[in-house]
Amino acid sequence: MLSQSEYIHAQAKAAKLIKRAGLRVTKKEEAAIEVADFGLSRLEKVGVQILNWVATERIGVKILVLFPQQIMPEHWHPPVGSDPGKEETLRLIAGAVSFYQGARKRMRMTMKADSQVTIAPGTRHWFRAGKEGAVMFSFSTIARDALDVFTNPKVIRATKIAKSGPKR
Ligand SMILES: [Fe+2]
């Protein structure tokens, strides 16, 4: 769970990193940045900030922002009906990321600016930003984030925002 002010603070921090990476973000887009703490309430350590640029019935384009050392927990994109699941390409724009994928044969990759990786549907993956954080593009087939499956059963995809306390 995040407080309203933690949420807004994280949005502003993410927007700053996106701009530092050389991309433009409107005020409206900044206010729409999604902050996910995965129900663990340790946003600085485990979480992700997402700016959705394209979300149609077929494709998705997002900017993913990780704060310094922040971890996107291990998950995979399951099949949905006749769709084999989301295929996703991550391309790093700024910062560095240690990227891991695969269950039995683990693949580890250090991503620097301009490196990219494509994640096949159903493949487990997780990643952690370096000390300067990271900004990356996510190009994918339709994203149904709510259906992502996480290895840690304590992870909850939808962010809960605490109601503000009583007025003093
Ligand atoms: Fe993913």
Ligand 1 centre distance from Cα of residue 122 (Å): 9
- For ligand 1, the distance from its centroid to the CA atom of residue 168, given in whole angstroms, is 42
CA distances from 68 to 6, 14, 39, 83 (A): 16, 11, 19, 34
What's the 149 CA to ligand 1 centre distance in angstroms?
A: 9
Question: Ligand 1: distance of its center to the CA of 3 in Å?
Answer: 25
CA of 6 to the centre of ligand 1 (A): 24
Cβ atoms < 10 Å from Cβ of 17: 24
Task: Give distance in angstroms: CA of 29 to centre of ligand 1.
Answer: 22
pTM of the model: 0.93
Q: Along the 168 residues of the chain, how does pLDDT read in single tens digits?
A: 999 999 999 999 999 999 999 999 999 999 999 999 999 999 999 999 999 999 999 999 999 999 999 999 999 999 988 999 999 999 999 999 999 998 777 899 999 999 999 999 999 999 999 999 999 999 999 878 888 899 999 999 989 999 775 555
Distance of CA 44 to the CA centre of its chain: 13
What is the helix, strand, coil percentage profile of the chain, to 5?
A: 15, 45, 40
Chain mean position to CA 35: 8
Distance 51 CA to ligand 1 centre (A): 14
Distance 72 CA to ligand 1 centre (A): 9
